[in-house]
Structure 1
Amino acid sequence: MKVIADLQLHSKYSRAVSQKMNIEELFFWSKMKGIGLIATGDWTHPLWIREIKEKLVETGRGTLRLNSNLKKTVFSNLFSNLKRQSFSLQEQDTEFLLATELSSIYSQGGQTRRVHNLVWVPAISSAEKIIRELNKRGCNLGADGRPIVGLTSKEVLQIALEVDESALVIPAHAWTPWFALYGSKSGFNSIEECFEDLSDYIYAVETGLSSDPAMNWRIPELDHRSIVSFSDAHSGPKLGREATVFDLEELSYEAIREAVMDNASNLSSPRRRGSVDSRLLGNDRNKISCTLEFYPEEGKYHFDGHRNCKVRQTPEETRERGTQCPVCGRPLTVGVEYRVQELAKRDPINTVKKIDDNGVRWLYHPQNMHPPFVNIVPLLEIISEARHAGTGSKGVQEEYEKVISSLGPEFHVLLKADFDDISRASDARLSEAIKKVRVGDIYIDPGYDGEFGKVKVWKDDGEDVVEDVGKDQMSLF
């Protein structure tokens, strides 16, 4: 079974997060997007773990689902405005996985380090044990849904594994300058430098919005680790802006864990923990099928720059001009593209481009060392440009709901829906826009220093640029 998963997000108890981000909101937007497995987020926060226990029930497979009474309420209230025509939002249930994010700020190697790590566990009891261990160490878990802990990344990993051998720790948005494993401002140059003798327990990294898998393929230590992507959503509509598609025998924590560990069979000296038999690594039963990616140029740290002075530089320009702002003289924020080039041990990967029967361009590793990926643009953004109105405007919101009601969840509309059906549900302009997005015929003004890049489907002068890509028959999910 193919499951679209978004396993990094935040609740209303995290800073700069919508106060609507409760369990019901997560469930609602998961259904709208077509997400089958969603993170709970923020389970270290005392009020949020209480809400998780009140509103979700454990399935016995390491996942959670809405309790039956709440599910009825959600469908009767939140979905009441949708006129379900050709599909039912109730066809496939959405389940939750206990996933949180910890912000480690500490000193190591004579430098201040700031690294965010995802922590996944299969049971509420395991989450509560980790909470107790963090409280013992003086962590102020009630201060924020993504708490700052004065523990090293290695210590976080060690605590998680000692509590539950099947726990997974994954470096989040691995290239973000300020708070990431490889971050230019306060990160490390390698997984081993960060996690030391426990580095073989890091089976994956999360790309973040400003990098894509092809950029990560340039790093040799990631050859035998999984590369996953999630939204890091702070509001419901942002769910699924990045996601990972799993191909599983059944939807369970153990199957997800096995899929993430799949590439680890080739680590140089892997240390095994937990219930996944080493013979199952490199398996054909549970694996990552593909990832759905933000265009990395749209990420807010892709290029180098200084936002206050409106200075933006490519890595090549930074190497020529230096890392000081030419306007004010302060340090530039060195972006993800530069940092990848700095740590890369090989030239840029020439991806193999293939177009499927639905007109979607997929990008493959030339040696198939990693799953393929596709770049997407959120449907609200596409409708916004097609209608010349903001994503939050009433007209765009109504059009979005109309399209979803007629055709199915957002990922189906973006990647599978027939163009004639899109025209009937909306109009020819939206159908044309989605067709252009599927093949990558778009324009991006890259982001830098906290400023998101800007994606345009149509160039201002109306000229089109069509990439020359090959065609192949595929069905990734």
Structure 2
Amino acid sequence: MAQVTADLHIHSCFSMATSKDMLPDRILSGCRTKGIGAIGSGDALHPEWRRMWGEVEDDHGMILLPTAEVEDQDRVHHLIAAETFDSFVMMQEMFTPHCSHLKTSGRPHIRLNGEGIAKIVHEAGGLIGPAHAFTPWRSIYAAFSSLAECYGDEEVSFLELGLSADSRDGAGISELAGIPFLTNSDAHSPVPEKLGRECTILDLNTMDVTSLLSAIRDGRILMNIGFFPEEGKYNRTACTRCFHQYTLEEAIDLKWRCPLDKGRIKKGVSDRARELSGTRVTERPPYLHIIPLAEIIANRLGTCSPRTKKCSALYDELIAQFGDELSILITVSAEEIRSVHPGVADAIAAFREGRVTLHPGGGGQYGTFSV
């Protein structure tokens, strides 16, 4: 048996609002820096992106899982995975009558419902599940109250929690009891604070794609790693214009219109999950809450961005000393980190021990933290 840390939902340079640096070599380099051993290709329905991955000469032992995200006619997003890119060639052919931009858009909009998309995915030998299932925009639980309303009788192999949720948000929903939860970054950039910011540790029989898919299908998940959900953009119910937060009851009374600026109030992930949950809670693998190292460095150095030269220099120094980011955040002792930077060491020790003050996000504004 072998453990692998996987980030299975990213996007290419061919998707909207993504960095031009989302290229295979930059992604693989970012994975090594982060400590990721398995990466989803992202955007595998795009023929040019498949060709670019095919030209990668040295993946340094990285497991590459062909994946893609699509949007259906109900504006629900789905994550698709398959063992080979050939399966996505087949899917592309079957989706072509229902989408005019498969060759130009990394994340296509397909004129089928969730069930229709799932049928094609299964016919091509792939797996499918809801992407960022609880967010108030373009997710299954924003549009529907159950999996069956979206997928009909088609199999759902996994559910992606999303940045504003953790395992607790899905553990009380009875229909999810037998469905594995994945945590992925949905990264649009290979910078350290984006790629691998959420990931999943899986138990593999062998270090290859076949075993990775089998581990997902069988639910052999050892740990989920991700944000404190309060850091997500949609954790709390809030106005999408001024970001003022409301209780669910207040929002209902206000008819989902903010009295401060007449902006639209969006239901938060925590409130939506509570609506769907019952009294029985399913036991789930451990969920480890982390804060990206680049954000910790920016917080300790008092800079407005983790991409300043000062922050990048300290980040690179820590990586050179300790190997990869996840090791620094999870296993390297605070005393060792203190030899490089006492402030960063104190912050890492604080979040490991739960001594972090969270300022929840909502309405599209990320949450923040203080130590």
Instruction: Give the TM-score band, short-chain normalised.
Output: over 0.9
Matched, 1:172 2:131: yes
Corresponding residue number in structure 1 for 2:215: 259
SS, match of residue 55 in structure 2? helix
Q: Which runs of 5+ in 2 are unaligned?
A: none
Q: CA deviation at 1:304?
A: 1.4
Matched, 1:131 2:92: yes
Q: Deviations over 1:438-474 (max 9, x none)?
A: 12211121111111111222xxxxxxxxxxxxxxxxx
Q: CA deviation at 1:340?
A: 1.0
For the 8 Å contact 2:99–2:108, the answer to whether it is kept is no
Matched, 1:327 2:267: no
For the 8 Å contact 2:9–2:79, the answer to whether it is kept is yes
Q: How many residues align?
A: 367
For the 8 Å contact 1:121–1:127, the answer to whether it is kept is yes
For the 8 Å contact 1:315–1:337, the answer to whether it is kept is no
Write the distance in 2 (CA, Å) between the matches of 1:146 and 1:48.
Answer: 12
SS, match of residue 118 in structure 2? helix
Corresponding residue number in structure 2 for 1:215: 169
Corresponding residue number in structure 2 for 1:225: 179
Q: CA deviation at 1:229?
A: 0.7
Corresponding residue number in structure 1 for 2:40: 39
Cα separation, partners in 2 of 1:449 and 1:119, compared to 1, 3 Å: same
For the 8 Å contact 2:236–2:363, the answer to whether it is kept is yes
Corresponding residue number in structure 1 for 2:343: 429
Corresponding residue number in structure 2 for 1:336: 269
Corresponding residue number in structure 2 for 1:474: none
Write the distance in 2 (CA, Å) between the matches of 1:143 and 1:449.
Answer: 30
Q: Deviations over 1:317-376 (max 9, x none)?
A: 4356542211244541112112112212227x6xxxxxxxxxxxxxxx7xxx32111100
Query: Counterpart of 2:70 in structure 1: which amino acid?
Result: L
Corresponding residue number in structure 2 for 1:384: 298
**Equivalent residue runs for 1:101-120 within 5 Å:** 101-104=69-72, 106=73, 113-120=74-81
Q: Deviations over 1:253-306 (max 9, x none)?
A: 33223222325xxxxxxxxxxxxxxxxxxxxxxx11010021111110111122
* Structure exhibiting the larger radius of gyration computed from Cα positions: 1
Corresponding residue number in structure 2 for 1:271: none
Query: Counterpart of 1:251 in structure 2: which amino acid?
Result: M
For the 8 Å contact 1:140–1:149, the answer to whether it is kept is no
Matched, 1:447 2:324: no
User: RMSD in angstroms over aligned alpha carbons?
Assistant: 1.7
Write the distance in 2 (CA, Å) between the matches of 1:144 and 1:440.
Answer: 41
Write the distance in 2 (CA, Å) between the matches of 1:342 and 1:207.
Answer: 16
Corresponding residue number in structure 1 for 2:204: 248
SS, match of residue 421 in structure 1? helix
For the 8 Å contact 2:240–2:264, the answer to whether it is kept is no
Corresponding residue number in structure 1 for 2:66: 98
**Equivalent residue runs for 1:172-191 within 5 Å:** 172-183=131-142, 187-191=143-147
Cα separation, partners in 2 of 1:139 and 1:152, compared to 1, 3 Å: farther
Q: CA deviation at 1:316?
A: 4.9
Write the distance in 2 (CA, Å) between the matches of 1:330 and 1:416.
Answer: 44
**Equivalent residue runs for 1:44-123 within 5 Å:** 44-55=45-56, 67-68=57-58, 93-104=61-72, 106=73, 113-123=74-84
Corresponding residue number in structure 2 for 1:87: none
Q: Deviations over 1:156-192 (max 9, x none)?
A: 110011122xx11011000111201101xxx110001
Q: Which has the higher strand share?
A: 1
Corresponding residue number in structure 2 for 1:468: none
Q: Which runs of 5+ in 1 are unaligned?
A: 56-66, 72-89, 107-112, 264-286, 350-364, 458-477
TM-score (normalizing by structure 1): 0.74
Corresponding residue number in structure 2 for 1:306: 239
SS, match of residue 244 in structure 1? strand
